[in-house]
Chains A and B, each alone.
Chain A
């Protein structure tokens, strides 16, 4: 909840001294006293330590703790770096409106909802008050409109992780606008944002968010090759790309990702029916290119390359092409327990096996009757 490294000691001490002066005036016997730099009330717990203790309790308790005394309230309001209100099933919007403005140093805010509660005015408050915000989860906020994205773009420019999955009301223009301001984005979840995730939006993301490492475009069926290709060219640091259900994309998208994103670790192509062997051979070939490039740079790590590939329901693929990918990336496994090459629904790919499965099979056939 509260990362200790996020707290600047001098800031906290300054805040603490300030609240001591406040507490000292008026009712000194009740207040928190300072004797030669030693905190004699509060059971001798300094602010940083209080925050560490509160990092071990649930978020609801943290909010309750802010109503204990002035010292705790100010410490929490000033020191809290992470807050989750996902437990709130009824009044999340009101809670955001009343609480968020008080947490000056908030860096992570989780507002995942089971039933939509958040409205634009809450996001507006977040954008106006939490300028240091880096991680924001607004998933399943069906009530939010473009106004929220415009406000976030202007108020929270340091965002590195944004989850707006299921926010179906957002448009691609608003997302493009956000991308042009929040250029530090590294993780973006657009799963189910059918209107927002279009080629226009992806082009803007590719142009402005060059540090992007993870992008989820699950079930965004407006996404096409133009958007994904631009993205691959603009964001060479991409590691995780989920294109599940993006039915319009073809081999060109996969080829662009394979050639332009050397750090690609995970690729989801579930239900991408237009993907053919050409894309698979491109992925297999990219490993060779990346290995050569790695030796030139002095890197060359065996762990580089794909670790997860989902090609379920990609019925146009043949076993030889998929086997080529499997052979190129030792981290891809078909064996049970380490399932990272997912091929469910592709009945013609049952012959594809990872290296360890082949070794096990060979070992078994070589010594069918081991000595007892």
Chain B
């Protein structure tokens, strides 16, 4: 008799305890206690609206982000939290232990909980992920989350340039300064070539006396040299004053000098003559306003350190400019303005196509 009563109660208990059938993305079907499953708003909604989940044939299809392993974790969470008897301290302790898992699993759990609209679990896991992210450098975040390293050096440094004292930023600014210096020198050389060679209009007697080196003449030449020095100083002062006047021109150029190459400079010069405001050039991340001045940035360094820094800059430059046209394209993608790579014609002239998205392409050529 007692056995039959026990059997009756056992049968009655299991008969009365209702279950819900859930199907994960891989096709596996799981039977879950109704009160546990109904803790997830998405499942609850599905049961109430469509009546699904009552049998194996009518299992509720879970979102793609919920795999069997993660579903197990979510159900563990629901089992604990749907019981009304637990104190706040117990819940807190459970939650702390529950989120002790590797980052990969935590990310998957956050995503799955979000797709099941399980807000308390989303909040819990989001807070855990936020704690992981906080205080880390971009490199550490990339490492932790196994994210692609697909930003250029400039793009990586730009968010940091005004908020941290990153030594690489100094390096980059130094590189830019050097590039601009090179460009200036190149331009000067061009100008020198264009200028006619000065004719020597001195008489033969003057030249002979200079070669013979008479005392008076020597003095004369010395004073001449001094005059030249003074003239040079004056010219330098003039250059400095003209530099300030030309600052506007420098600001017009929206491209950091790290991107410049010969073809590009030609194209820019040509486009500058066409469009005074350079409206059709893409906006690049580093604006010239914040760059260092053209002069040597590290004149105060001792030679050994300077040499080391130069080596670093060279290495940095190599990495930076190894594939600049592709980078230019990457940079301009996703923005309204798009830069199409420069094509070099057989005759040696360059064509730079720049256009606003959807507008007609304007062609700028420079030989």
| Chain A interface residues (CB < 8 Å from chain B) | 18-19, 22-23, 26-27, 30-32, 36-38, 41-46, 48-49, 52-54, 56-58, 60-61, 63-74, 88, 91, 94-95, 97-99, 101
- Are B147's CB and A41's CB within 8 A? yes
Contact A49-B110, Cβ < 8 Å, known A41-B148, A64-B160 = yes
Residues of chain B within 8 A of A32, CB atoms compared: 148
How near does chain A come to B143, taking the closest CB pair, in angstroms? 10
Q: Cβ of A95 and Cβ of B163 under 8 Å apart? A: yes
- Is B122 positioned at the interface, with any CB of A under 8 Å from its CB? yes
Instruction: Tell me, in angstroms, the Cα distance from A18 to B65 when the chains sit together.
Output: 21
Complex-state Cα separation, A370 to B147, whole angstroms: 72
Interfacial chain A residues near B64, Cβ < 8 Å: 36-38
CA distance A61 to B108 in the complex (A): 22
- Taking the nearest CB of chain B, how far is it from the CB of A68, in angstroms? 5
**Pair B161/A73 contact, Cβ less than 8 Å:** no
Q: Which residues of B contact A (CB under 8 A)?
A: 64-65, 103-104, 107-108, 110-111, 114, 122, 126-127, 129-130, 133-138, 141-142, 145-151, 155-163, 283, 285, 287, 289-290, 326, 330, 333-334
Q: Are B122 and A18 in contact (CB-based, < 8 A)?
A: no
Report the bound CA distance from A118 to B9 in whole Å.
76
In the complex, which of the residues A45, A67, A74, A98 contacts B107, with contact meaning CB atoms closer than 8 Å? A45
Q: Are B148 and A67 in contact (CB under 8 A)?
A: no
- State the main secondary structure of chain B at its contact with A: helix
Q: Are B145 and A43 in contact (CB under 8 A)?
A: yes
B158 proximity list for chain A (CB < 8 A): 67, 98
Contact yes or no, A23 B148, CB < 8 A: yes
Among A44, A52, A98, the residue within 8 A (CB) of B126 is: A52
Cα distance, A99 to B147, chains bound together (Å): 23
Taking each of B130, B137, B161, B285, which has the highest tally of chain A beta carbons within 10 Å of its own beta carbon? B130
Q: Contacting B162 at CB < 8 Å: which of A48, A56, A58, A88? A: A88
Contacts of B137 in A (CB 8 A): 64
B334, A74: Cβ atoms closer than 8 Å: yes
Tell which of B114, B130, B160 touches A67, judged by Cβ atoms closer than 8 Å.
Answer: B160
Chain B residues closer than 8 Å to A38, beta-carbon distance: 64-65
CB of A275 to closest CB in B, whole Å: 48
Instruction: Determine if B150 and A45 form an interchain contact, defined as CB atoms under 8 angstroms apart.
Output: no
Chain A residues near B146 (CB-CB < 8 A): 41, 43
Interface centre among A30, A32, A67, A73 (most CB of B within 10 A): A67
* Distance A177 CA – B124 CA, assembled complex (angstroms): 47
Indicate if the CB atoms of B127 and A56 lie closer than 8 Å. Answer: yes
- Measured CB to CB, the closest approach of chain A to B145, in angstroms, equals 5
B163's contact among A22, A41, A44, A63, by CB below 8 Å, is which? A63
How far, in Å, is A124 (CB) from chain B's closest CB? 13
Asked whether B162 lies within 8 Å of A67 as measured between CB atoms, the reply is no
Question: Complex formed: what's the CA distance from A19 to B147 in Å?
Answer: 14
Report whether A52 and B163 are in contact in the complex, using a CB–CB cutoff of 8 Å.
no
Say whether B155 contacts A44, CB under 8 Å.
Answer: no
Query: Would B135 and A61 count as touching, CB distance under 8 A?
Result: yes
A326 vs B330: C-alpha distance when bound (angstroms)? 67
User: Could you pull out 13 A-B pairs where Cβ atoms are within 8 angstroms?
Assistant: A26-B326, A43-B146, A48-B114, A49-B126, A54-B130, A56-B126, A57-B133, A64-B160, A64-B163, A67-B151, A69-B150, A70-B150, A94-B290
Contacts of A19 in B (CB 8 A): 334
Given A65-B141, A70-B148, A98:B290 Cβ within 8 A: yes
Q: Residue among A18, A22, A43, A72 with the most chain B CB within 10 A? A: A43
Q: Given the interface contacts A63-B163, A95-B163, does A53 sit within 8 Å of B133 by beta carbon?
A: yes
Question: What is the chain A residue whose CB lies nearest that of B329?
Answer: A26
Asked if residues A70 and B107 are in contact (CB atoms below 8 Å), the reply is no
A63 to B159, CA, bound (A): 6
User: How many angstroms between the C-alpha atoms of A30 and B162 in the bound complex?
Assistant: 28
Known pairs A64-B137, A98-B158; A69 contacts B151 (CB<8 A) = yes
Question: Residue of A at shortest CB range from B115?
Answer: A46
Which residues from chain A contact B133 at a C-beta distance below 8 Å?
A: 53-54, 57, 61, 65
Q: Which chain B residue lies CB-closest to A21?
A: B333
Q: A32-B148, A70-B150 are in contact. List 10 more A-B contacts (CB 8 A).
A: A43-B145, A57-B134, A63-B159, A64-B136, A64-B141, A64-B159, A67-B156, A69-B142, A70-B148, A99-B162
